[in-house]
Amino acid sequence: MTEQTTPGPTAGAAGALTGQVAFITGAGSGLGAAFARRLAADGAHVVVNDLQPAAAEAVAAEVGGDSAVFDVCDSAAFDAAIDAAVARHGRLDIVVNNAGIAPPTDPAKVQQAIANQMARMEDRIDQLVPSNSTIDLADADWDRMIRVHLYGAFHGTRAALRHMTPARSGSIVNVSSVLGLRPVAGAPHYAAAKAGIIALTKSTGQEVAPFGVRVNAVCPGWIDTPLLAPMDPMMIAGIKMQIPVGRMGRAEELAELVRFLAGPESSYCNGDVFAASGGVG
């Protein structure tokens, strides 16, 4: 775990979150980076976690925050980073458990899925070939997926609550997915991890609600970030056809929802789950 302070262009921005400290995991890229920019724009001091040091440091420099480089699967490193942020800044107001990974895409399975769709459309159900998404899932892949998402969110929630519950204040936002709300075939480990985050959110939200702490979850639909870069263009085209608004979301659109849940405007939201999915969720 490394941590450094880097004054940047939005350091000291005045806004509704001025004086508050936010800790965001996986904030070196995509959604997390957009969350960091949005919270910093309203005055929060942001601690930018990521596994990738250069990415974390670049976003931290941009938003005038700190970088904290560690793996969210490592609970001791997570505890130490949260404790260090509180020691340095004297408080912790917002934690966004966002770090995540995508299941690897297998071009052969994509082609088979497309062939199966054609067979379904032509009523050739007897010609469907099993995808074997679950049979072919290795223990290590299942384990890593659950660890990064579900263990990561648990580690962050527990470390944050140790400070927020005594302070009788704080907002935790967990990043789930529409695939946690409405799982589809193909990545059972991702769906299970994201559904677990929803249950974690509801349980901990109920636990700490009487003590001034809020825990909520966001369920993004398909958002245009580097996470989706390895996906087959045919798959992307097929996904877009199923999105009622007809396009992928932008990270900045999700950042508005996270900003709402992070701040006092969402004072009656606790243990609640919010999709932003263009109609998919």
Active site residues: 190
Sheet containing strand 94-97, strands side by side: 2-5, 66-69, 45-50, 21-24, 94-97, 170-175, 213-220, 273-276
Q: Which is nearer to ligand NAD, 55 or 164 (CB)?
A: 55
Question: Which of 228, 236, 239, 269 touches ligand NAD by CB under 6 A?
Answer: 228
Examine residue 171 and tell whether it contacts ligand NAD (CB under 6 A): no
Q: How many CB atoms lie within 10 A of CB 246?
A: 10
Q: How far apart are CA 166 and CA 75, in angstroms?
A: 20
Give the nearest distance from C-beta 175 to ligand NAD in angstroms. 5
The sign of the torsion formed by the CA atoms of 219, 28, 45, 153 equals positive
Residue 165: both structure tokens together = 């519950």
> Mask: binding to ligand NAD, 67-86, rule CB under 6 A, as x and -?
----xxx-------------
Q: Which of 17, 22, 54, 19 is nearest to 35 (CA)?
A: 22
Residue 33: both structure tokens together = 């980076």
Q: Which stretch binds ligand NAD (CB under 6 A): 82-90, 206-214, 222-230, 237-245?
A: 222-230
Pairing mode, if any, of strands 66-69 and 2-5?
Answer: antiparallel
Give the nearest distance from C-beta 212 to ligand NAD in angstroms. 27
Give the nearest distance from C-beta 169 to ligand NAD in angstroms. 25
What 3-state DSSP class applies to 113? helix
Give the nearest distance from C-beta 115 to ligand NAD in angstroms. 25
Question: Which of 2, 52, 132, 134 touches ligand NAD by CB under 6 A?
Answer: 52
Question: Which of 222, 257, 271, 273 touches ligand NAD by CB under 6 A?
Answer: 222
Examine residue 25 and tell whether it contacts ligand NAD (CB under 6 A): yes
Q: CA dist 279 to 39, 49, 173, 184, Å?
A: 26, 30, 21, 16
> Mask: binding to ligand NAD, 176-195, rule CB under 6 A, as x and -?
-x------------------
Q: How many residues does the chain have?
A: 281
Q: Scanning residues 90 to 129, which ones bind ligand NAD (CB under 6 A)? A: 98-101
Binding site for ligand NAD (CB under 6 A): 25-26, 28-32, 49-52, 55, 71-73, 98-101, 148, 175, 177, 220, 222-223, 225-228
